[in-house]
Amino acid sequence: MRVATYTRISTDEDHQPYSLEAQAERLAAYVKSQPDWQLTRRFSDQASGATSERPELKRALAEARAGRFDLLLVYRVDRFSRSVRGLAQLLEDLDSAGVAFRSATEPFDTTTPAGRMMVQMLGVFAEFERATIVDRVIAGMERKAARGGWCGGSRPYGYDVDPKTGCLAPQADEAPLVSVIFDRYAHGREGARALAVWLNESGHRTKAGRPWSHTAVLTVLRNPVYVGKIFFRDTLHDGPHEHLVEEKLFDRVQALLSERGEDWSKRASATSPFLLAGLVVCARCGKHFVGTSAVGNRYRYRYYTCFSRQRYGRKYCDAERLPAEELDAAVLDALLHTYERTDLFDKAVSAARRRARSERANHDQELAVVDAGITKSEDAIERYLSAFEAGTLSESQCGKRLEGIAAKVRDLRERREELLAAIEHANATAPDIDEIAAMRRHIEQALTNGSVPARKALLQALVHEIRVEGRDRVVPWFRVPGSAEPKVRALAHGRPRQEPGQSSDAWFSDAWFG
């Protein structure tokens, strides 16, 4: 009987009733006491038993399906799973793989109906025990928060956690800056983005050592911890830590946040869909454009803004903002106009076919090398596993070497799929005139009458990329339906729109295709 053992702890071993080492020793002794049993595999996780997403558990199930052991042994059922549903699924997976399951301290035969019932009962108790522990921990954290203690998580900027008291204490190199941020926002009338730019230009960094973004500034401005409050489970508690901001100033900032539309509840209700989200790319820094908005005297203006500029300011990228309505309309117009040019599809597919055929010999040669590499690596994996089974290679040595080889195999398989796709392009065919006309009708109908999610999904499928080189040069690349490689390039055109505080220079030129 080839036996594999599985051990698990939730956190560090210092606070566990059964450490990994203790479990492993007792399981090894149990295997040794059984006639005709041989310990061939060891699996160990340091993770919660409430989920089955554990690396070593996944590996154990994979090797069970590969037939590398006959029985999986655990110290207790709750070491295997603390979820009734998870335990039932794991037992079913082992059963389908022809592998038996046994607990060293709860000897029930899972091959019999009575034994399986008892194991399920133990799973119920394990889940109940976990739920009880969670309730006790939460109750303890609530009592700690009520006394003003910090209950864990990311520490607020400007504070550190005193290990003796468990309460927050001002951090000398951050605390003075907090009141400055609040003061500049309330009295200097500087917005969150302007504050982020000022903080970065002044050489300040967040507690994680990164540049400030407007979201990081808003996190500081909204946090009631700076007026002596501890927030836990939707409740504010008074804390004994030192205030970094006066309450009047804090209230003034909250009123301004709401007035300027930077309140979360208002932002959630006022958000507008951006059809080209994730498709617009900045040619200067390589980041995607994100949807943003600005409030004027009477209207809300929507823009696509480079992520680098939006988060870190013009110092990191000075790409101009593009009016969302104008860009959406221009790209949709260019897309429909492209479907009137059947010659573009022929050119795109022909070009892809020529590239694929010219590189066919190189692709075939590389494919042969990749296939040979995959075969060689898989043979190496079998040799290492055989050496481990024979006892000539330790588990740690085998695991490290197998991990490296497995990563290499994954890379080779991905490259193999890329080469096969490239070879297939040699036989790609362009849609005929009737097919293109039918597709244009369907696309126009979907863009006109479809819901916003449907329109966005359609654009995600048809638009490969929209590269912004400047306000006067925006180049969309469209995909040819039914092909992953050929793309049609078009330069959109449209009417200029004046951005508040900027000139009304045209940002789309006449349409052209290439």
C-alpha span between 138 and 235 (Å, rounded): 13
For residue 435, what is the enclosing H or E element? Answer: helix 433-449
Cβ contact 277:456 at 8 Å? yes
C-alpha span between 189 and 202 (Å, rounded): 18
Pairing of strands 100-103, 71-74: parallel
Return the structure tokens found at 388. 């481990």
Taking the mean position of all CA atoms in its chain, how far away is CA 415? Answer: 23
H helices present in 359-425, as ranges: 360-389, 395-424
C-alpha span between 251 and 219 (Å, rounded): 15
- What are the φ and ψ backbone dihedral angles of 211, each rounded to 5 degrees? -65, 150
C-alpha span between 339 and 446 (Å, rounded): 15
Give the gyration radius of the chain's Cα atoms.
31
* Closest C-alpha among 71, 13, 14 to residue 45: 13
Long-range pairs for 207-214 at CB < 8 Å and ≥24 separation?
207/154, 207/155, 207/157, 207/174, 211/311, 211/312, 211/316, 212/312, 213/311, 213/312, 214/310, 214/311
The residue type of 426 is A
Query: How many of the other CB atoms lie within 10 Å of CB of 3?
Result: 22
Return the structure tokens found at 26. 């007792």
Active-site amino acid positions: 10
C-alpha span between 73 and 4 (Å, rounded): 6
Taking the mean position of all CA atoms in its chain, how far away is CA 40? Answer: 37
Return the structure tokens found at 312. 């870190």
Residues 6+ apart with CB under 8 A from 341: 513
